[in-house]
Structure 1
């Protein structure tokens, strides 16, 4: 797998967020490619975009200290298990690779859900992100099904338009950040939903950039469901976790 990375402009490596085995396999592939000479920028969903300045400052202050960087560029309520992501940060520091804060913050996403894209992005910014036109019908259908499954069919349907806009904004922001570093090659570390070709970040790249020769989307998955949404699949053992929908009240 790692031998395919350097030939691409955009490499998107997914994850099941709490699956440590999958993250180890992804780290191994990324490390092999870097050790072989690949020098991409590393964009991470786990850092909110407004923390880029904190990342850059931490690197100047302690260039090799991944734990310090994480502490400076995140908060106590980040929600991420940083023990899983610290090795990726360490790899970026070891090889002096650009480390990019790629995510739309939860606060901004909440503003969009409540009040629309204009609460976060000016009209010009929406145009630059390709968010100035209605979402395509197929994207709405696929994302609606994904959101419905992710919330056990139990979320207020009145919130759906805002949730769709917020999800699109996340993916569009990640795509924009990746495009800014396409000249050297860039890898995205993000959840499997974000790296899917049909509904994720690749959907928001420029049309010329979506070509198979330029993009590689790899899902690190516990099942083969939605396998056609990725260029490649890496099956990983499923984590033994409680059924998140066991106590959900399904709304008809």
Structure 2
């Protein structure tokens, strides 16, 4: 099962953004994007309008997923149909908006406070740099750990989805973590996903 990072595209040029939200992943799972990358590229090339928000899923340890995300960013940016990218690999409140397209990787990492997020830069550098070099801002979409602890206890998130969708969200978290999470963690983690 692929995870759901959030990439956002905007056909109407409003300031919409996307983000990678991931549920976790099992290395043994086959990557969904690799199954029909050609079909995906055809869809991106089609003149039909895209949704305002485009969610891209990934498995963190699948390099073909990051390549697929990079190709998507490059295609949408080249078509001027990408308003921004939001990723969970950087904390909310951090952005590359003030950087020039010529910014170095070090400048981008600093703007996103990347090292503090705890994610390896190498797999995501091509995706992030493709956006920055195209003049598309990259925004952090992850919650800070201190805020995550609060959200995990906030029961009002349990009512944000219809019951069937709430159950699917919890099932996706369970299966996305290879059925290894204790049942007691499913609801708190689902709340975090909704808060993001």
The TM-score with structure 1 as length reference comes to 0.50
Answer whether contact 1:49 1:102 (CA < 8 A) is retained.
yes
Correspondence list, 1:72-221, <5 A:
72-113=111-152, 115-116=153-154, 131=157, 133=159, 135-170=161-196
Structure 1 pair 158/72, CA: closer, same or farther in 2 (3 Å)? same
Is the partner of 1:109 in helix, strand or coil?
Answer: helix
Q: What is the rounded CA distance, in whole Å, between the counterparts of 1:36 and 1:20 in structure 2?
A: 24
Query: Residue 47 in 1 paired to residue 90 in 2?
Result: yes
Provide the C-alpha distance between the structure 1 equivalents of 2:80 and 2:168, rounded to a whole number of angstroms.
38
State the Cα deviation string for residues 209-235 of structure 1 (Å, max 9, x = none).
xxxxxxxxxxxxxxxxxxxxxxxxxxx
Higher helix share: 1
TM-score by length of 2: 0.62
SS in 2 for 1:142: helix
Deviation at 1:31, TM superposition (A): 1.5
Distance 2:47 2:108 in 1: 26
1:148-184 per-residue CA deviation (whole Å, 9 max, x = no partner) reads 33445444434443333222212xxxxxxxxxxxxxx
Q: Which runs of 5+ in 1 are unaligned?
A: 118-125, 171-252
Between structure 1 and structure 2, the one with the greater Rg is 1
Rounded to whole Å, the distance in 2 between the matches of 1:25 and 1:152 is: 23
CA distance in structure 1 between the partners assigned to 2:74 and 2:111 by the alignment: 24
Give the SS at the match of 2:59: coil
Shift of 1:75: 4.7
Alpha-carbon distance in 2 for matches of 1:5, 1:81: 36
CA contact (8 A) 1:51 1:73 kept: yes
Quick one: distance in 1 between partners of 2:47 and 2:193? 26
**In structure 2, what is the Cα distance between the partners aligned to 1:99 and 1:140?**
29
